[in-house]
Amino acid sequence: MELKISDHKPVSALFKSEICVVDQNKYRKVHEELLKKMDKLENEFLPQVTVDQTEVMFDMVKFREPQYRDIIIANTGQVLAEFEFIKKLDDVSYCKEWLSITPFSGCIRPGEKCDLRLQINLEQPLEKIYDILVLHLIGGKDMFITVSGECQRSCFTTSIATLCRCPVPLLQLTSDQLKHAENQQSPVLYSVPRELWLLIDHLYRNGLKTRELFESIALHEEIIRIRDWLDTGSLDPIPGSIHAVAEALLLFLSYTRDPVIPYHLHDACIAAASNYQSCKQIVLQKMPDLDRNVFLYLCMFLQELLKYSNENGTDAKTLATVFGDILLRDPIRNSRPQANRGKASFIYHFLINDPSTLIIPNK
Amino acid sequence: MANRTSTAQRPNGATQGRICQFKLVLLGESAVGKSSLVLRFVKGQFHEYQESTIGAAFLTQTVCLDDTTVKFEIWDTAGQERYHSLAPMYYRGAQAAIVVYDITNQDTFGRAKTWVKELQRQANPNIVIALAGNKQDLANKRMVEYEEAQAYADENGLLFMETSAKTAMNVNDIFLAIAKKLPKNEQTTGPGGSGQGRRLVEGDTGAKTAGNCCK
């Protein structure tokens, strides 16, 4: 029977008919042929894309120096391709915290392309950059994209305990020296990290009378130069403006592997915040020696700064707020904004009381 | 939909219209011929230089048994070791697996055994596993004896065949053997089952067009 469509009025109908005899062999043949046809159609109409690279390599990745790579996804199929990055089993997100993907999902029409940007920003200590991303097509295949690169270590993400054991600047260390320092097998050589001392000493000599020392934002390149200067142990004078050095100090204290006041003491500090004696007890009895050294050294510097409040315009409350947030930073940044006042109150005590009673000579 | 339902209810056709859908995953070391087996099975093609799979390719294929129609959702995984940790994403929830090795390479047989172990430990406990000794066309360079693999398969309750994606030997057969062994009662989805909405659309459209009889 030939199918024709009326040019005036399309007509269609459904027929219900009883079939008395079915030739099973023919029936099966038709059935299988139809299924084959459907399989073919279905596979043809699966979304298909290609990516221009499945290996994304980054150059040496350094602290707070973002890099990006672009990849292109092209829709080579016949239908709209909806893509998204999906998380691997047991992972919490579709990529690691040092990576961002924009866009991480989208739609591409047949024949069209889409650029994706993978950006790395390293803010934690990491031996190596390595992850496999799973790019999933809704209703279709998955593709794996491997992201890799080397990481350069930096004093900004190294623990205080390690830095105090480093005989030379971080990038001059042999891997053995570093390993021993990290495992706390080598002796403590400095009471505070050399890098911290360099930053604070510079501020002490040149910045006591500077206005808005910890409140202005330095150029990114200046911070990078200071980072390299500290990590390589350059003999040149410290690069960057006084404000950049101040910001570098804040960054240093914000990114050390653990906060200066260990996480497990935070609740106690906040609870004790209304009482200086209780605060003192925590610092004296609960804090690890090196962390206490750093804390008191910093407080003494801030007290020096406060002696010049007339010239630099700062006050103890402002400094307590800025440093409270950093020295008692949350495991997930700013996850407990309600605790900020308690943190500031805790620090405030150490800015207005004489800390010399807290100094214990090195054993 | 109407067409399909009536097919299923046809008294003399019994359950011929019933479609059971199963997720099948291919595992095995890289370059043993997983993608080639799928390509041969689904499209009847063979490429001497098949590109390495970097991800998990997805295709579907239907096979007809006497009483049921089995539709495979095939996930063809990347064999390279560095992607090993991603494999559970694909074998989790799979009702069938083909573990492939290359009969000319003893290491790939060892690797196949570790895949079988991993599946027995971590996959769906009722998973139907088939062992495929591929590249049978290169039997003159054989490094894995048929009997050895057969004995291993028997010990572990696996289906076993030597296959050749190149000559098509045993390719349909191994998928067919899996289809036969799969249980058709619980996970079966009758025609028009909710989970397959997307995949049945094209078929339905086709059926309707054919039914639209205009004069």
Least confident of A61-75, A190-204, A303-317, B6-20: B6-20
Domains of chain A: 49-150 (2.60.40.10), 258-363 (1.10.555.10)
The partner residue sitting opposite A141, judged by closest CB among B57, B64, B206, is B57
Split at pLDDT 50, 70, 90, the class of A198 is: very high
Tell me: pLDDT of A154 over 90: yes
b/e map A141-176, b = 16+ CB within 10 Å: bbbbbbbebebebbbbbbbbbbbbbbeebbeebeee
Cα A274–Cα A277–Cα A279 angle in degrees, nearest 5 = 65
Judging by beta carbons within 10 Å of its beta carbon (0-12, 13-18, 19+), is residue A199 exposed, middle or buried?
buried
Q: Does B56 touch chain A (CB under 8 A)?
A: yes
Residue B89, min C-alpha distance to chain A (Å): 6
pLDDT in tens, B9-61: 334 444 456 789 999 999 999 999 999 999 999 999 999 999 999 999 999 99
| Amino acid A10: pLDDT | 67
A89–B62 C-beta distance less than 8 A: no
Tell me: pLDDT of A4 over 80: no
Positive/negative CA dihedral, B26, B35, A88, A125: positive
| Amino acid B195: pLDDT | 32
Q: Look at residues A57, A55, A114, A58 and name the one whose alpha carbon lies nearest to residue A82.
A: A114
Count how many residues are written for chain B: 215
B55–A12 C-beta distance less than 8 A: no
| Amino acid A361: pLDDT | 52
The partner residue sitting opposite B64, judged by closest CB among A32, A88, A89, is A32
Tally of CA atoms within 13 A in the half-sphere of B37 that contains its CB: 36
Residue A33, min C-alpha distance to chain B (Å): 10
Task: Determine the Cα–Cα distance for residues B74 and A231; give it in Å rounded to an integer.
Answer: 52
Task: Determine the Cα–Cα distance for residues B25 and A168; give it in Å rounded to an integer.
Answer: 54
Q: Which residues of A touch B85 (CB under 8 A)?
A: 88, 132
Residue A114, min C-alpha distance to chain B (Å): 19
Judging by beta carbons within 10 Å of its beta carbon (0-12, 13-18, 19+), is residue A308 exposed, middle or buried?
middle
Q: Look at residues B8, B38, B6, B189 and name the one whose alpha carbon lies nearest to residue A17.
A: B6
Task: Determine the Cα–Cα distance for residues A140 and B10; give it in Å rounded to an integer.
Answer: 34
Residue A18, min C-alpha distance to chain B (Å): 10
| Amino acid B189: pLDDT | 44
pLDDT in tens, B175-211: 999 999 998 875 444 333 333 322 333 333 333 333 3
| Amino acid B4: pLDDT | 34
Tell me: pLDDT of B6 over 80: no
pLDDT > 90: percent of chain A = 81
pLDDT in tens, A222-231: 999 999 999 9
Cα A160–Cα A166–Cα A171 angle in degrees, nearest 5 = 100
| A204-218 average pLDDT score | 91
Split at pLDDT 50, 70, 90, the class of A27 is: confident
The residues with which A113 forms a beta bridge, in sequence order, are: A74
Instruction: Output the average pLDDT for chain A.
Output: 92
Tell me: pLDDT of A339 over 70: yes
| A199-211 average pLDDT score | 95
| Amino acid A333: pLDDT | 76
Give the residue from chain A lying closest to B12, CA to CA.
Answer: A22
pLDDT > 70: percent of chain A = 95
pLDDT in tens, B112-143: 999 999 999 999 999 999 999 999 999 999 99
Give the residue from chain B lying closest to A8, CA to CA.
Answer: B215
| A224-241 average pLDDT score | 94
Task: Determine the Cα–Cα distance for residues A317 and B118; give it in Å rounded to an integer.
Answer: 60
Q: pTM (2 decimals)? A: 0.83
Residue A5, min C-alpha distance to chain B (Å): 6
| Amino acid B215: pLDDT | 31
Token representation of residue A22 = 């079915």
Task: Determine the Cα–Cα distance for residues B182 and A205; give it in Å rounded to an integer.
Answer: 80
Split at pLDDT 50, 70, 90, the class of A28 is: confident
Q: Which residues of A touch B78 (CB under 8 A)?
A: 144
Element (H, E) at B179: helix B171-181
Percent of chain B as helix, strand, coil, to the nearest 5? 40, 20, 35
Tell me: pLDDT of A359 over 70: no
Chain B interface, best mutation among A46, A142, A147, A148, by max B CB count within 10 A = A142
Least confident of A18-32, A100-114, A143-157, B40-54: A18-32
From the centroid of its chain, how far is CA A207?
31
| Amino acid B111: pLDDT | 97
